[in-house]
Structure 1
Amino acid sequence: MTIPAPLTGVIPPVCTPLTPDREVDASSLVTLVDHLVTGGVDGLFVLGSTSEVAFLTDRQRRKVIDTVVGHVGGQLPVLAGVIDTATPRVLDHVRSVTDAGADAVVVTAPFYTRTHPAEIARHFRLIAAGSTVPVFAYDLPVAVHSKLGAELVLGLAAEGVLAGLKDSSGDEGGFREVILGARTRGDVSGFSVLTGSETTVDAALSMGADGVVPGLGNVDPEGYARLYRYCREGDWALARAEQERLCGLFGMVRVGDPSRMGGSSSGLGAFKAALQLRGVIACAATAEPQVPLSSGEVERVGKFLAGAGLL
C-alpha cells in the first residue's frame, strides 16, 4: 500500500516472538499483529531494535517480514528495518524486504566504523536511489554512534531522499528543530517526524510530532492509541493522565538485575514476558546472547501489568 505523507499515528516496533530453541515463532507473531491491529495502531514497524533485528539472521529477518506482510495484507502500512553496518549490506536488505512487500524501509547511519556526515548523507542517498519504497531515517546514536543532525535530515528531506524520521536519540532540542524545520521550510513537504520515546509522547505531539513508535505499544497498544487520540483532540488533561499511566507501566524495563544482564535483556525480556503473561505470545525467549529474566523478575513484570490494569 502507499504510505501516507506524512505518516501519522501509532506505529509500534513489533517484537519478534521466538520459540524455546530461538527460531521465529510465526504463529505467535501473527497473534501479536492481530493484538496490535485490534488495539488500534496505525502501522507496523518490523525488524527494528524492539524486534531484536541485530540478533536475527538474514533467514529469520525474511521470515518475519514474510509473515507480517502475508498476514496484514495491505490493511496497514508495514515499515521494515534494513539495519546493517554499511551501504551494500543495507541495499541487500532493501531488496529482500521490498520483494516481500514492505511499504517503506527504515535506515540508520552506517556503523562499526566512524563515518563523516558527508558519508552518512551519501549512504542515505544511495539507499534511496536503490529503493522502490520510501526511506525513513532512524536516529539511534546509542547504537550506531552517530547523531543525525537536523540540517542533515532536513536537507535530505528537501532532496526527496527521506520520507520521515524516527527519532530515538533522546535529544529533545534536536527533535524539535526537525519538527520546526519540516513545518516552516518551503522545500520540505509531507515529511513525517516520529518519536521513539514511550514516556514523552504527549510532549512530542504537543510540539508537532506526527506520531510515535513505542516499544511498549506491543504490551498496551490500546493505551497508546488512546494517548494519541487525546492529544489530537486537544484533551491534554486526559493525555497527561494516560501518559503517566504508561510511564508507570514502562518501569517494567528495569526489572532485570543489572549485575547479570544489560538493558536490552531486561527491557526486551520484560516486553516479551508481559506479552506471554497477557496470552499474546507462547514463549518469552529473547535472542542470544541476551540473558533471560528469572522467575522473580517475570513476577515483577506481572505486578507492573496489574498496576496498569492489564492483568
Structure 2
Amino acid sequence: MTALPTLLTGVVPPVCTPLTPDNEVDVASLERLVDHLVGAGVDALFVLGSSSEAAYLPDGHRRTVVSTVVRHAGGQLPVLAGAIDMTTLRVLDHVRDAADAGADGVVVTAPFYTRTHPAEIARHYRLVAERGGLPVFAYDLPVSVHTKLDADLVLDLAADGTLAGLKDSSGDDGGLRRVILGAPPAFSVLTGSELTVDSALAMGAHGVVPGLGNVDPDGYVRLYRAARAGDRDGARAEQERLCALFGMTETGSPARMGRSSSSLGAFKAALHLRGVIAHPTTAVPQIPLSPEDVERVGKHLATAGLL
C-alpha cells in the first residue's frame, strides 16, 4: 500500500486481466502488464474495472488480481480496486478484500439490478465510505448500471468527504463540467472517455482512465503531459493518433459478437501481439476474435507505430 496523493491526477489505466485458455488468472502475464504500464510512466493503476472484465470474474479471481498487482507494483504508485457489485453489503465484501490486499482506494458504482432512489444511492456510498476504511471513488457508468449519477449528488458526497473522486464514463460532458466546476479542491475528477481526453483536461479534469492505455500507455502519458504543459497542438495530435488506434475495437463483427467481446478482445489481442501477455483469452461467455480480426488489430498497431 502507498498513500494516495491529496489529489489523484494523471494517467490511471484500468488494467486488463490476462487469462489462461481455461479462464484462470495468468499471474505471470499480469505482472508483465504491470511492468509495461509502470515503465510507461503512468500515475496509478486501477484493477477490476470494465476493462479488467470484473463482471466476468469470480471472487477468487478478483482477490488474485488485486493481491498480484499490489504486490508487484511494490508501492511504486497507488492501486485502486474496483468494488463493483449489486448492493451495499456485497460491495463491502469486495472492499474488505481490497483492503486486505493492500489497495489504496476503491472504485464503486451505484447499486444495480435493484431499482434505487437517489437517497439510496447516497446512503450506499456513505455506508461504503464509513465501513470500508478506504477512499471511495464513484464510478459513473450508466451504460452498465442503468443509473446516471447526478452531478448535484456527486458534489454533495464530495463536499461531506464521502467521495475522494469520480471516474466519469457517462459520456455526459455537461455533467462532467458541472462536477469539475463545483468540486472541492481535493476531489479528483477522472475521465473514462479515452477519445476526448484532450478536451476533458482542457475543461479541468485531473486525469484519464483509458482502457486503450493498456495497449499504448506511452501515448496517453504523452497526451497528458502535453495538455498539462499547455501544448494544445501536441495534445490534439496525440489524441487523434489514439483515436485512430481505438479503431481496433471495431474489428469484431457485430453480427457475431457483442461490443464487449470486440473491444476487450482487441485490447488483449494487441497486448499478445506486443508480447506483453501470453494469451489473448477473454472470459466466458465472450466470443473470441477470429484470426482475421486479430490480423486487423495488428494492422492498427503497425499504423500507430507499436509493432
What is aligned with 1:209? 205
What is aligned with 1:244? 240
How far apart, in 2, do the equivalents of 1:239 and 1:115 lie?
A: 40
Deviations 1:234-289 (A, max 9, x none): 00001100000000000111100100100000000000000000000000000000
How far apart, in 2, do the equivalents of 1:242 and 1:287 lie?
A: 31
Asked if 1:227 is matched to 2:223, the reply is yes
Pick from 250, 255, 280 the counterpart of residue 254 of structure 1. Answer: 250
Asked if 1:124 is matched to 2:125, the reply is yes
Deviations 1:31-63 (A, max 9, x none): 000000001100000000000000000000000
Structure 2 residues not aligned, in runs of 5+: none
Letter of the structure 1 residue corresponding to residue 268 of structure 2: K
- Structure 2 counterpart SS, 1:270: helix
How far apart, in 1, do the equivalents of 2:299 and 2:267 lie?
A: 13
- Structure 2 counterpart SS, 1:257: coil
Asked if 1:307 is matched to 2:303, the reply is yes
What is aligned with 1:197? 193
Pick from 266, 274, 278 the counterpart of residue 282 of structure 1. Answer: 278
Shift in Å at residue 138 of structure 1? 0.1
How far apart, in 2, do the equivalents of 1:263 and 1:217 lie?
A: 18
How far apart, in 2, do the equivalents of 1:172 and 1:294 lie?
A: 35
How far apart, in 2, do the equivalents of 1:62 and 1:111 lie?
A: 22
- Structure 2 counterpart SS, 1:37: helix
What is aligned with 1:267? 263
Asked if 1:134 is matched to 2:135, the reply is yes
How far apart, in 1, do the equivalents of 2:115 and 2:6 lie?
A: 32
What is aligned with 1:171? 172
Give the TM-score normalised by the residue count of structure 1.
Answer: 0.98
What is aligned with 1:185? none
Q: Following superposition of structure 1 onto structure 2, how do residues 62-101 of structure 1 map, counting pairs within 5 Å?
A: 62-101=63-102
What is aligned with 2:52? 51
How far apart, in 2, do the equivalents of 1:141 and 1:96 lie?
A: 25
Letter of the structure 2 residue corresponding to residue 119 of structure 1: E
How far apart, in 2, do the equivalents of 1:262 and 1:114 lie?
A: 25
How far apart, in 1, do the equivalents of 2:105 and 2:153 lie?
A: 20
- Structure 1 counterpart SS, 2:235: helix
Letter of the structure 2 residue corresponding to residue 130 of structure 1: R
How far apart, in 1, do the equivalents of 2:191 and 2:82 lie?
A: 16
Deviations 1:118-173 (A, max 9, x none): 10000000000112210000000000000001100000001100000000000010
Shift in Å at residue 174 of structure 1? 0.4
Aligned residue-pair number: 306
How far apart, in 1, do the equivalents of 2:6 and 2:185 lie?
A: 8
- Structure 1 counterpart SS, 2:190: strand
Letter of the structure 2 residue corresponding to residue 40 of structure 1: G
Deviations 1:203-256 (A, max 9, x none): 000000000000000000000000000000000001100000000000111100
Shift in Å at residue 189 of structure 1? 3.0
Q: CA RMSD in A?
A: 0.5
How far apart, in 2, do the equivalents of 1:114 and 1:308 lie?
A: 44
Letter of the structure 2 residue corresponding to residue 15 of structure 1: C
How far apart, in 2, do the equivalents of 1:5 and 1:245 lie?
A: 32
Which aligned segments of 4 or more residues in structure 1 are displaced greater than 3 angstroms? none
Pick from 207, 214, 217 the counterpart of residue 218 of structure 1. Answer: 214
How far apart, in 2, do the equivalents of 1:133 and 1:86 lie?
A: 18
Q: Following superposition of structure 1 onto structure 2, how do residues 179-190 of structure 1 map, counting pairs within 5 Å?
A: 179-182=180-183, 188-190=184-186
- Structure 2 counterpart SS, 1:130: helix
- Structure 2 counterpart SS, 1:123: helix
Structure 1 residues not aligned, in runs of 5+: 183-187
Asked if 1:298 is matched to 2:294, the reply is yes
Give the TM-score normalised by the residue count of structure 2.
Answer: 0.99
